[in-house]
Amino acid sequence: MDHPSARVLELLSLLAAGAPRTGAELVARLGVSPRTLRRDVERLRHLGYRVESAPGTGGGYRLPAGQGMPPLLLSEEEAAATAVGLRHAAAYGVDPAGTALRKLEDALPARLRGRIEALLAATAAPPAPGPPDGLGTVERLATASHLRSRVRFRYPARDGAAGERRAEPHSLTLLDHRWYLLAWDEDRADWRNFRVDRIAGLRVPGTTFTPRPVPEEPAWPLPRPGGPGSGSVLFLAPAGTVARRLAARAGTLEPAGADRCRYTTGADDWGWLAGALAAVGVPYRVERPAELARATRDLAARAAAASARSPGPAPPRP
């Protein structure tokens, strides 16, 4: 293997398994001299890979796991998938995703950059409604859940007053553009879902808990489709057409006759749901509840007011 770059990549693949490799083994596998091997190891170190070495006859080289973030080797398909994933993460307010996407695009060869730019242009992610949930809060809750650590935080009640909550976190779910925490509420002795963006003053005291069995149907953050408090909308279009355009996924879409379908869902934010329904772009009727009908009228009024204020076409120039 004469080309230095190809040889260094082969050396990296041999070390990537994590097990120590003797110098003699690497020299034989790569077909190089010990001096060339040492030089290639230094190249890897300059690229950010922390290659450990042990001197002596029994020594060798090792690439330990978890030693920083060196450059990654991605195939064209992996690079495309990473770019699309970062675009969607950035749309949900994860700021580091945007900078990571720009770094990835800068590192791509021109041939692959054009392909990914076309892919991103055709896969725009819908933005999250309102301010994004704090990534730091999500990470701390995820860590507490993994380590079985109790958490404390302030959370608003139905009357708007923020009270102290003590909980045993179980898992996090992304639903309708919002993060929700499923946890055992110690004060209420029951399972509860908490919207992460409403959690304030999060603390992790350090005490641990024994995991409880999760019920087969844990409390939903949204009302069950078809149940009390859920929303129902009749679309005057086939279900296939609506399904391709509907951003709200936490619900049930079923045919309701020829060229029409019914969508039932709960909602934590009726205003956001009203916008998602209007964005489908087909005629529809709100069947229930009154909150969704009111949010739809408010949306229509704002749109009408905005169009009324828009300037008309400029008069023809003489």
Chain segment 55-81, per-residue pLDDT in tens? 766 568 887 765 545 566 677 777 778
Q: What are phi and psi of 186, to 5 degrees?
A: -65, -35
Chain segment 189-242, per-residue pLDDT in tens? 988 888 888 899 999 998 999 999 887 655 555 555 555 567 899 999 998 889
Closest CA relative to residue 30, chosen from 47, 66, 6: 6
Closest CA relative to residue 172, chosen from 194, 187, 150: 194
Same domain membership, residue 20 and residue 56: yes
Residue of higher predicted confidence among 113 and 248: 113
- Do 235 and 262 form a contact (C-beta atoms < 8 A)? yes
CATH of the domain at 196: 2.30.30
Residue 235 maps to a domain: yes
Is pLDDT of 9 > 70? Answer: yes
The residue count for the chain: 318
Residue 98 maps to a domain: yes
Residue 129 maps to a domain: no
- Alpha helices (H) along the chain: 4-15, 23-30, 34-46, 76-91, 95-107, 110-121, 135-147, 239-245, 270-278, 290-309
Is the entire prediction scored with pTM above 0.95? no
Same domain membership, residue 303 and residue 235: yes
Residue 318 maps to a domain: no
Same domain membership, residue 147 and residue 81: no
Residue 184 maps to a domain: yes
Q: Look at the chain and report how many structural domains it folds into.
A: 4
Residue 208 maps to a domain: no
* Structural domain boundaries, residue 166: 135-203
- Which pair of tokens denotes residue 264? 């039932």
Percentage of residues in the chain having pLDDT higher than 70: 75
Closest CA relative to residue 172, chosen from 154, 152, 195: 195
- CA 70 to CA 81: how far, in whole Å? 19
Residue 127 maps to a domain: no
Chain segment 248-287, per-residue pLDDT in tens? 666 788 899 889 999 988 766 788 788 889 988 999 999 9
Q: Directed axis angle between helix 23-30 and helix 34-46, to 10°? A: 100
- Average pLDDT score over the chain: 79
Same domain membership, residue 293 and residue 237: yes
Same domain membership, residue 96 and residue 160: no
Residue 115 maps to a domain: yes
Residue 264 bridge partners (DSSP)? 232, 252
